[in-house]
Chain A
């Protein structure tokens, strides 16, 4: 079974530039998450989709971050304009529905963003 695919693996941009990350979840997984993992910390949830609807985006900095999941499959996370503090690994994860307390989330390898 193919896992969660993310691209690119690495990205270096200058501050104030824009950047986009792509995620393809495991086939059949209706729930998709984007997490931000700053060096030395645990992942922080940015946004959770169920099919193509947003379930939780309370921690997404909406002035600069946006995400979409057209057709309920692939998802794109965008940052515009980027700040130095956005340097982090961006992890995508997916899981089955219905989502219970014990539903395992499967993670991709992440995109490492460096803002200079």
Chain B
């Protein structure tokens, strides 16, 4: 079974609009961490934001925020005021225990001027 599901293979968004990238996850472990990474065409993975399963507040980092709905097992990334430089692949990932990250298939975001 997929542990991380990203249902949007691609998205087109107008510059300056907000965009929400969907992520649902599956785990029976009560303690886990959720990450979002950005992968531009150059290939490196850039860490954006983290949410712990016990965190009471939704995580925010600048223009990035994470809409964490624990009961629904969803961890959607919200990018406010999108910019042309936000065009990239976006990956949701989960860590359980001290394991490596398990990634979803990603969403290809294209920001249009």
Write the residues of chain A forming the contact surface with B, with a CB cutoff of 8 angstroms.
3, 33, 35, 40-45, 48, 55-56, 89, 91, 93, 99-110, 112
Say yes or no: is B98 at the interface (Cβ < 8 Å to chain A).
yes
| B35 nearest in chain A by CB position | A104
Say yes or no: is B32 at the interface (Cβ < 8 Å to chain A).
yes
- Check A42–B100 contact: CB distance below 8 A: no
- Check A110–B47 contact: CB distance below 8 A: no
CB distance from B41 to the nearest CB of A (A): 11
- Check B4–A45 contact: CB distance below 8 A: no
A-facing residues in B11-55 (Cβ within 8 Å)? 31-33, 35, 37, 42-47, 50, 52-53
- Check A107–B33 contact: CB distance below 8 A: no
A and B contact pairs by CB, cutoff 8 A, 22 listed: A33-B100, A35-B100, A42-B93, A42-B103, A42-B104, A43-B103, A44-B103, A93-B45, A99-B98, A101-B32, A101-B33, A101-B52, A101-B97, A102-B33, A102-B50, A104-B47, A104-B50, A105-B101, A107-B37, A107-B44, A107-B45, A109-B42
